[in-house]
Amino acid sequence: MLKLTIVFCISLTMVSAFGQSASRYQVGTITEVKTHQTAGSGASNTTRYDVSLKVGDTIYMVLYTPPLGQETVKYAAGRELLVGKGTIRYNDILGQSFEVPIESQKPAAQPQQAKPVSRSTEH
């Protein structure tokens, strides 16, 4: 009876492991953070940032408003975040999870090929 129970538990574990779907998020790397320029002359004291993230061959842009005027996002280039369908997910310093909507996306620029350098010989 004990063997039958153990086999049953193992088979349940195997079925649940194979039944899980693939992750709906991809890892993206912050490539650039710029202060957001507003079109109007609004008197808002809140600083907002345009944050660019690269996933594969795509650059995603989000508009981020930090809580309580924190400016730590200015130094976040290179940090990895989760990019989902239409949102970016990140955790704050306390481990609370937040999502920010993706504002736009564009193809990443292909790296420029190096041009051959001709060296002239001087005598």
For 71-120, how does the pLDDT look when each residue is reduced to its tens digit (9 = 90+)? 888 888 999 999 998 999 988 878 888 899 999 999 987 666 656 666 66
Q: Residues 47-73: what's their mean pLDDT?
A: 88
d(CA 23, CA 84): 9
Tokens of 75: 């130094």
Residue, of 80 and 20, whose pLDDT is higher: 80
Q: Which of 69, 58, 59, 86 lies closest to 35, judged by CA? A: 69
Nearest to 34 by CA among 2, 78, 69, 64: 64
Report the number of secondary-structure helices (H) and strands (E) in the chain: 1, 6
Q: What tens digit of pLDDT does each residue of 90-99 get?
A: 888 788 888 9
